[in-house]
Structure 1
Amino acid sequence: MATKVIVVGGGYGGIVAARTLDDVAEVTLIEPRETFLHHVAHLRAAADPTWAGRIMIPYDGLLARGRVLRDTATVVRPGSVELASGARLGADYIVLATGSAGPFPTRVAGASRAEVTRQLHDLHAALDQASAVLLLGAGPIGLEFAGEIASAWPGRPVTVVDPVPELLAGRFPEQLRTDLARQLDDLGVRVLLGTKLDTPPETPAGTVRPFTVTTGDGTTIVADLWFACYGGTTPTTCLGPELVAARQPSGRLQVTEHLRVTGQERVFAVGDLNDTPELKTGRAAGRQAEVAAANIRALIEGGPLTAYEPYPDAMIFSLGPSGGAGYAPEFGFLDAGATARFKADFLLDHFRAQLGAGS
């Protein structure tokens, strides 16, 4: 009988793990969404509705032999996965690739194509109606969202507030921080660092309604739309007691160098869910999935296991369609022009190829 592999989660890591093992095992990918959602581009889709349909890619062409089940894992234990539909699936190996969760702009809610499209269009309508926008958090999400808003609505006041004393917390070269700060200033984005709000807005996040707030250093901000650009979580409620034992204070699962969940021989965790010491990016999730799949293949066919080597810090920030900056050790600093060219289509062709969707 064929070895049974269940991949829980159809994001950046899950699709790579499933596709890589499709020729050597009976693969089942469990994913509640109707389509793959290219989260890296969802901020562009909120600012520009023409992107909404492009960032959703069908799973139909992902697997030649395996299957994609549109369902939700409710209980995952070594050797089995229980689903919301009531089914219980047995597995020889499990790859956990459940990603992260959170409200917009951390993630986009909705499982169906129609729900995602409606949310993105509603968000665009709110942004279009707003007269001034407040973003809490100057991390990658807050900075990129500020750039998208300022580029799509020139002259619209956008304020970013974060208690950290400097952009990117010193993890990157000063050239990158300086250039991002300059471009944000050129776009009219006001960045207030080293301070936080005395109290959050009374208006619900994402709702257009006038409000006034004050920061700890006495700065008054008047706006009518705000978002919290932080607070992503790693969902682990579906994990059985054997897997919960590996959960760290951060909420992530401790893994070995081979990406096995600590204490487990046949359960692997990739992407946002695990505790590898690196920035959590789609690129890292994909590479981890390759290593986890290679190790499952080695366990099936015989052969040495591969140790995963975390990526060094690297990030490319887009600030609207024509701006941004980036850095990676292998190519150094990227200016606005190079960043805009690199992120012109957010690598959509690459992910469509991974999913077997063509161009």
Structure 2
Amino acid sequence: MMKRVIIVGGGYAGANLARLLDKLAEVCVVEARDHFVHNVAAIRSVVDPSLLARIVIPYDRLLRRGRVRQGIVSSAFDGGVTLADGATIEGDIVIVATGSHYARPFKPTLHGTRAFEDSVKAAHASLLAADRVAIVGGGAVGVELAGEIASAHPRKRVTLVSGAPALMPGYSAKLAGSLEAQLRAKGVDIHLGTRVESLDATDSPYLGTLSSTPDAAEDQLIFPALGARPITAVFRRMPTASFDAQGRVAVDAWLRPAGARRLFALGDAAATGDPMTIVAITRQVPWLAKIIAATLAGESPQSLPAYVPWSSRGILVPLGPRDGASVLPVTRHGLLVGKWPTALIKGRELFIPRYRKEFGYSGQFA
């Protein structure tokens, strides 16, 4: 009898792993949402909502043999998962890849994609009506959003505010310097080391005033971009689970939390040593696929090489379709590349054709 693998979460990590395991096991993906949302392109969809027709993709063609079941997992354990409705799904291996939250409209909410589409359209309409835009947060989302708005609407006044002394905290000074120079060249007003004491909302854009900036008294469209928050409710129901400072669940050398034997954590919710990026997934997913394949064949994970994160923190940061800078994790300290490679790898198409193909919708709309 073919063994069953249960994957909790159908985001980037869960969906990519499911595809790799589809030929090896009976794969069941349990996902709360009705469609996959390619949120890598969500930032640009704020300036170009026509992208929504291509980045919200059904799950019905993801797997050839396995299935995607819509539902919410309330708990996971060695041997299966329990759903919010009380149903239990048994499996030989369980992977929890629940991902992370972000402020609207950059990631969908838990249940449906209609709310995500509505939030993008609402943000776009607000953007068109606004003369001034303020973005609070100098990480990847805030920087990329500033670049997209400044590229698509060069006459709007865009302000980027960060409490950190440089853009892109946690990444190299060279990357931060390149992105800052390009944003300033696009007319973005950047305030570093500037704390915003209070925001009227932290989970969605709103029209208001912003303290600590020269034009504080003027109404502007404010986008909170304060970082991702891991989704760890399933892990917090495990009595012996522990969490790092970011709220990610601690795992052993084979990505197993809370002393589990055949339950693994993957992606943003797991404290793997990688940042919460798509680049990290490209290392974690193929590694875990090999571990699971060997485990299904009767080997112990402990007999296999432990997971080792990227030696450098790779990231791709386009500033519109033609500009940006990136760090590729191909050397010990990473390789900094500029506009042209960033545009070629990510900026021009934002991986949209790739993910539509992987979900079985290449060249057509869902």
On whether the aligned pair clears a TM of 0.5, the verdict is yes
Asked if the contact 1:133/1:159 (under 8 Å) is kept, the reply is yes
Cα shift readout 1:259-315 (whole Å, capped 9, x = no counterpart):
222411101011101111122211312431222222121111134524222112122
Give the 3 Å change call, closer, same or farther, for CA 155–353 of structure 1 in structure 2: same
State the 1:35 CA deviation. 1.6
Q: Is residue 2:337 matched to residue 1:334?
A: yes
Give the 3 Å change call, closer, same or farther, for CA 170–307 of structure 1 in structure 2: closer
Deviates most, 239-248 or 148-157 = 239-248
Asked if the contact 1:59/1:68 (under 8 Å) is kept, the reply is yes
Residue 268 of structure 1 is aligned with which of 264, 270, 278? 264
Partner of 1:196: 195
Deviates most, 135-144 or 305-314 = 305-314
What amino acid sits opposite 2:48 in the alignment? D
Partner of 1:307: 306
Asked if the contact 1:29/1:67 (under 8 Å) is kept, the reply is yes
Distance 1:173 1:237 in 2: 35
Instruction: Map residues 156-305 of structure 1 onto 2, 5 A cutoff.
Output: 156-169=156-169, 171-174=171-174, 176-201=175-200, 205-208=204-207, 211-215=208-212, 219-221=214-216, 222-239=218-235, 241-242=237-238, 245-303=241-299, 304-305=303-304
Distance 1:319 1:117 in 2: 22
Partner of 1:108: 108
Partner of 1:69: 69
Asked if the contact 1:77/1:243 (under 8 Å) is kept, the reply is no
Secondary structure of the residue aligned to 1:316 is strand
Asked if the contact 1:71/1:84 (under 8 Å) is kept, the reply is yes
Q: Is residue 2:23 matched to residue 1:23?
A: yes
Q: Is residue 2:349 matched to residue 1:345?
A: yes
Distance 2:201 2:91 in 1: 48
State the 1:166 CA deviation. 1.4
Asked if the contact 2:73/2:83 (under 8 Å) is kept, the reply is yes
Partner of 1:93: 93
Deviates most, 283-292 or 264-273 = 283-292
Give the 3 Å change call, closer, same or farther, for CA 299–202 of structure 1 in structure 2: closer
Deviates most, 16-25 or 104-113 = 104-113
Task: Report the number of matched residues.
Answer: 354
Distance 2:170 2:228 in 1: 21
TM-score by length of structure 2 reads 0.89
Runs of 4+ aligned structure 1 residues displaced above 6 Å come to none
Cα shift readout 1:220-250 (whole Å, capped 9, x = no counterpart):
4233211210142112223364365233343
Identity %: 35
Secondary structure of the residue aligned to 1:214 is coil
Which ranges in structure 2 are unaligned for 5 or more consecutive residues? none
Deviates most, 23-32 or 338-347 = 338-347
What amino acid sits opposite 2:30 in the alignment? I
Give the 3 Å change call, closer, same or farther, for CA 333–227 of structure 1 in structure 2: same
Distance 2:108 2:237 in 1: 29
State the 1:170 CA deviation. 6.0
State the 1:214 CA deviation. 2.6
Give the 3 Å change call, closer, same or farther, for CA 334–95 of structure 1 in structure 2: same
Asked if the contact 2:104/2:203 (under 8 Å) is kept, the reply is no
